[in-house]
Amino acid sequence: MEYLSALLNGLSYGMLLFLLGAGLSLVFGVGRFVNLAHGGLYIIGGYVGFTVFDRLDNFWPGMIIGPLVGAGLGLAADLLVLRRLHGHGREPDQVLITFGLALIIADATRAGWGGDIRSVRAPAPFDRPLEVGEFIYPTYPLFIIGVGLLVLALLWLLLQRTRLGAMIRAAAGDPQMAQVLGIPTGPVLRLTFALGVALAALGGVVGLPRLALAPGRDFEMLLLALVVVVIGGLGRIEGAFWASLLVGLTDSYGKLFFPEFTVAMIFGLLALVLIWRPEGLLGRRAA
Amino acid sequence: MLGNRVSRRDFLRFGAGLAVMGLAACQEGGQQPAASPTPVVTGPPLKVGIIEPNSGVFADLGRDQINGFNLYLEKVNFVAGGRRIQLVVEDETADPATALTKARKLIEADRVDMLAGVISSASALAMRDLVHQSRVFTVISNASANDITRARKSPYIFRVSNTNYQMAFPLGKWLIDNGHNRIVLMFADYAAGREVADALRQGFGSGEIVDTIPFPLGNTDFSSVIDRIRASRVNMVAGFAAGTDAVIFLRQFAQAGLAGRIQLALHDSVDRAELAAVGRDALGVYTSDFWAPTLDNPANRQFVDEYRRRYNEEPSRYAVAAYDAARLLVETINAVNGDTSDPDRLVRAAETIRFDSPRGLFEFDPTTHHVVQNIYLRQVREQGGRVTNVVVSDLGRIRDPG
């Protein structure tokens, strides 16, 4: 019984990390852009979801509004500041500027929503547990697993089966050649960035009934997203997916067997992967 | 570093605001406090260093404490013993090394006459040798590690809040005395959580602890904890989970369908902030604490009323402790007629101070300089349309053994 719950816990936590990690990985893979404000977008999504729930007494609209607000902010940030920082060799600038943005988001959300802990109840029909004989399990984590799989499928369809996806892949592979072939790489990159941060904001909304929001959660989530992206291989969506599940399961089984060492185990996993495959599980070796 | 600079600038502005507020209060002088009828300023200003977090995870508790200090000091128009009280506020942050640096700055550069504040036990323990050796009269208004009253106590340190033992021991005793003789013990696995767990065990005595479940501080997933609770087939879970741990645990406990089926007794950790976040999912949870917003005595009714009017929100336990800390400072200064030059004289004066606090009779244990107080068993209930902590039993006067 405990093993089955731990499996489901690990999967649901992993899917939440996947929403975060996929966005970060997408932005890095396509635009070669390091976005340290990614955790900030997670809590913005969460706070927007909280406010929507607070005003409308309904959780679901937040699932749309949160990512839209995230995407809007991402577009604005890209137009105003970040587009000046694209390109090879600009990583130190990107790190500094986006870390600055992360600090601004941390203070702005604190000013807007206060430092109190924020949380909402799981929405119906996911507010009651599933009971199968002796086995009782909350249903909301199952919903999170569903959202994660859906996002994975949609991302795959977008990248592999649509014209936009082809342009994104082209821009990711060789931006100069793509431009020569008439692909508007600037707008494509901007759109990808907005999509990536919208995923982070979606994670914030979806995670709200499961994890509470409080100052500091943004940097915790950023750290986990970075772990996922590094383990999975920079810029690989499938890598982020498998790495998220690995981190989620390490966390849940770690809590079952070695509750005192769970956090250490996640970073131990990261260290092992970096020793064996410095490019990440599915990463390409650097040329 | 960047974060530090931003918050420090904020803090300077905040400090300036306080000073203006202090001046304004002096000029108004309208509302008459019970403590000192007409404050007359005869001596030079007196500096009190306040160390409270304005950034990091404890920032909200720091804000509540600053509110509590100000509420009382406004009542006496920032005057005690014929001297005007100037607050010098420094950001404790969540880092003990930084808190120590700030304490050193207050003592050595600002030359404050007294110190007060400190949310984190790690900060309080880090500052202990400095204040002890500098012989600075210090009032700890929150940090609750047992050792501040035991192995690391100092005659110059008075604590007005509580020790972890002081509230967990009577909770454990209440459990066994009321027929809850099979429990699961769960706690956040860090210094405070372990102290609470030890004291609960002591109070619980001969009762049976079916399972002991430590979980990492700042946990996000309680499913394995909840599975073990379910597997142990008990009716009562006791322990310690505070802040986001309490909120996330209570949410997931409800999602797992256990709320209402298994009872919870969680030390002091379901206070205003947690209740505001969790709301009805916390209904029925027992806690032990030195105060409750619904505690029925004249001083508390007045305090809650004044706090609501001044800040337009509900007071927290942190605000109460700081309010009493400010009262202790003022009464100590009054007792020595404003002459703060001899720290030992301040200590002797403070030892004998007792008053009717919002939490009941407030007095010190002269050997530990830690508050002796009643501890109350509270339960989260809906009262007047508000989810709040209601006192269900007085667990008696509790002294930390030292």
Using one digit for the tens of pLDDT, what is the confidence trace for A181-190? 888 888 888 9
pLDDT score of B205 more than 80: yes
Q: Which of A169, A172, A287, A278 is nearest to A233 (CA)?
A: A278
- Contact status of A134 with chain B (Cβ, < 8 Å): no
Query: From the list A8, A13, A209, which residue is nearest B251 (CB)?
Result: A209
Q: How far is A213 from chain B (nearest CA, A)?
A: 8
In whole angstroms, give the CA distance from residue A135 to residue B371: 48
Q: Which tens digits make up the pLDDT trace of A203-221?
A: 999 999 988 888 888 999 9
- Interchain CB distance below 8 Å, B224 and A263: no
| Cβ–Cβ pairs < 8 A, chains A and B | 117
For residue B381, give the H/E element and its range.
Answer: strand B370-383
For residue B286, give the H/E element and its range.
Answer: strand B286-289
pLDDT class for A136, splitting at 50, 70, 90?
Answer: confident
Q: Which of B128, B94, B91, B90 is nearest to B112 (CA)?
A: B90
- Interchain CB distance below 8 Å, A255 and B215: yes
pLDDT of residue A4: 86
Q: Which of A69, A71, A75 is nearest to A51 (CA)?
A: A69
- Interchain CB distance below 8 Å, B247 and A127: no
Question: Percentage of chain B with pLDDT > 90?
Answer: 75
pLDDT of residue A244: 96
Centre a 10 Å sphere on the Cβ of residue A250 and count the other Cβ atoms it contains.
Answer: 19
Domains, chain B, ordered by start:
8-162+296-369 (3.40.50.2300), 165-289+376-398 (3.40.50.2300)
Out of A82-86, A175-179, A258-262, pick the least confident: A258-262
Give the A window 41-70 contacts with B, CB below 8 Å: none
pLDDT score of B107 more than 80: yes
pLDDT score of B36 more than 70: no
CB A181 within 8 A of CB A170: yes
Best of B93, B244, B258, B283 to mutate (most A CBs within 10 Å, chain A): B244
Average pLDDT, integer, range A165-189: 88
Average pLDDT, integer, range B109-137: 96
Q: Is B368 helix (H, G, I), strand (E, B) or coil?
A: coil
Q: Which tokens in the block code for residue A44?
A: 């913005």
pLDDT score of B352 more than 60: yes
Q: Which tens digits make up the pLDDT trace of B124-163?
A: 999 999 999 999 999 999 999 999 999 999 999 999 999 9
Give the A window 103-132 contacts with B, CB below 8 Å: 103, 107, 110, 114-119, 121-122, 127-129, 131
Question: Percentage of chain A with pLDDT > 90?
Answer: 55
Mean pLDDT of chain B: 89
- Interchain CB distance below 8 Å, A1 and B63: no
pLDDT class for A30, splitting at 50, 70, 90?
Answer: confident
Q: Which of residues B224 and A149 earns the better pLDDT score?
A: A149
**Orientation angle between helical segments A237-257 and A217-232, nearest 10 degrees:** 120
In whole angstroms, give the CA distance from residue B383 to residue B381: 6
pLDDT class for B6, splitting at 50, 70, 90?
Answer: very low
- Interchain CB distance below 8 Å, B244 and A214: yes
Interface predicted TM-score (ipTM)? 0.75
Q: Which tens digits make up the pLDDT trace of A56-106?
A: 999 999 999 999 999 999 999 999 988 888 777 888 899 999 999 999 999
pLDDT class for B37, splitting at 50, 70, 90?
Answer: low
pLDDT score of B35 more than 80: no
- Interchain CB distance below 8 Å, A138 and B215: no
pLDDT of residue A115: 77
pLDDT score of B12 more than 70: no
pLDDT score of B15 more than 80: no
Q: Which tokens in the block code for residue A231?
A: 């383990």
pLDDT class for A285, splitting at 50, 70, 90?
Answer: low
Amino acid identity of B12? L
- Residues of B whose CB is below 8 A from A140: 255
Mean pLDDT of chain A: 90
pLDDT of residue B224: 82
In whole angstroms, give the CA distance from residue B191 to residue B17: 36
Q: How far is B216 from chain A (nearest CA, A)?
A: 6
pLDDT class for A263, splitting at 50, 70, 90?
Answer: confident
- Interchain CB distance below 8 Å, B247 and A117: yes
- Interchain CB distance below 8 Å, A100 and B2: yes
Which letter does DSSP use for residue B97 in this model? H
- Residues of B whose CB is below 8 A from A259: 189, 213-216, 224
- Kindly compute the dihedral angle of the four CA atoms of residues A94, A97, A102, A104, in this order, to the nearest 10 degrees: -170
Question: Percentage of chain B with pLDDT > 70?
Answer: 90
pLDDT score of B14 more than 60: no
pLDDT of residue B45: 95
pLDDT of residue B11: 46
Q: Which tokens in the block code for residue A66?
A: 């949160």
DSSP character string of B218-278: T-S--HHHHHHHHHHT-SEEEEE--THHHHHHHHHHHHTT-BTTBEEE-TT---HHHHHHH
- Residues of B whose CB is below 8 A from A138: 223, 252, 255-257
- Residues of A whose CB is below 8 A from B232: none
Q: 């109840």: which residue's tokens?
A: A121
Query: From the list B224, B252, B278, which residue is nearest A138 (CB)?
Result: B252
Best of B119, B227, B261, B311 to mutate (most A CBs within 10 Å, chain A): B227
Q: Which stretch, A176-190, B51-65, B98-112, B223-237, has highest mean pLDDT?
A: B98-112
Which letter does DSSP use for residue B39 in this model? -
pLDDT of residue B55: 78
The size of chain A, in residues, is 287
pLDDT of residue B38: 62
pTM of the prediction?
0.81
CB A152 within 8 A of CB A18: yes
pLDDT score of B7 more than 60: no
